Amino acid sequence: MLKQRVITASILAILVIWAVLKLPVTGFGVALLAVLLPGAWEWTRLIGLSKTGDRGLYVGGILALILAAWPLLDSAVFVNSLLVLSVLGWCGALFWLQRYAVRPEQQNHPLQMGIAGIVVLVAPWVAFMGLRNEFGPGYVLFLFLLVWAADVGAYFAGRRWGRRKLAPAISPGKTWEGVAGAGAATLILALLGAVLLDEGARWPAFVAVCLITAGFSIVGDLFESMIKRQCGVKDSGSLLPGHGGVLDRVDSLTAAAPVFLLGLYGISG
C-alpha cells in the first residue's frame, strides 16, 4: 500500500508541476475543472445523493457556476467578494466541526450540504485562477508545496510525538503535536518562499499569511473527514490508487486556496 501511495503521489506531483508551469491560463483552468468535477461527483455521494440523475444535475450545477464565474475573473469586486464569503464559510466550518464533536448523531440538511459544496468546489477554482492571473505560476506552485509541507510535517510529527488528540470524534489519528509539526514545516517553507518569491520588506506578513493558510488547510481536511464519517465511508472515492478519491487529495487545498489569495491581496495593499 505504501509503495502504491508513493507511486501515485509522485505521478500526481509531476502532473501538478507541469500543469502549473507549462499550461496557459485557459489550459490551467480546464485542468482545474478536470480535478474539481470528479470531486463534485464524489461530493454528491458524501451528501447523500444516490440517484445518478440527481448526482449529474448537481455536478452540472457546479460546472455552470464555474463557467459563469470565468468571465468575471477580471472583476476585483467579484473575486474579492467570493473570497471573503469563502473564508467566512470556512470560519463557520470551525463551529460546524465543534457541533459535530459534541453531537455526532445530528445530521446535516441536504440543502445545507449542497451549499457547502459551492464553497468546497467553486471558490477554490476562482482562487487558483485569481492566484495564477494576479501573482503568477510561482505562487500557485508555492501554495501546493505549502499545503504538502504542512501535511508531511503533521504526519511525521504526529507519528513521532503525537499524544494529544486534535479531534478524536472526527479524525482520531490527528494530534496537536501533528499541528505543531505542520506549523514548523510551514514556517520553514514560508521563510524560504519569502526569499525565492522576493517578498522583500513584507516578508513577516507573508509568513503570517502562510501560517494562517496552513491552519485553514487542516480545517479543510477535518471538514471532509467529518462529512465522510457522517456518511460512514473511509474514502471519498477510489479514483486514485492508494489515495482514495479526488476530494481526499484536495480537501486541504479547497480551504487553503481562498485564504492564501485573500491574504496576499491584503498584504499587497
pLDDT, tens digit (0-9, with 9 covering 90-100), for 151-169: 999 999 999 999 999 998 8
Evaluate if residue 107 carries a pLDDT over 80: no
What per-residue confidence (pLDDT) applies to 230? 83
Cβ–Cβ under 8 Å, residues 139 and 264: yes
Joined grid coordinates for residue 185: 514545516
pLDDT at 2: 47
Q: How confident is the model at residue 239 (pLDDT cuts 50, 70, 90)?
A: low
Give mean pLDDT, residues 232-238. Answer: 70
The whole-angstrom distance between residue 162's C-alpha and the CA centroid of its chain comes to 23
Predicted pLDDT at 228: 86
- Indicate yes or no: pTM above 0.85: yes
Q: What is the mean pLDDT of residues 241-257?
A: 82
pLDDT at 26 over 80: yes
Run of H or E residues at 173: strand 171-175
Indicate if the pLDDT at residue 261 is higher than 80.
Answer: yes
CA distances from 97 to 38, 42, 167 (A): 25, 20, 9
More confident residue, 143 or 106: 143
pLDDT recorded at residue 238: 56
pLDDT band at 67 (very low <50, low <70, confident <90, very high): very high
More confident: 102 or 265: 265
pLDDT at 233 over 80: no
Cβ burial of 145 (10 Å; 0-12, 13-18, 19+) is middle
Per-residue pLDDT, averaged over 102-110, amounts to 75
Domain residue limits at 219: 2-268
Count of domains for the chain: 1
User: What's the mean per-residue pLDDT of the chain?
Assistant: 90
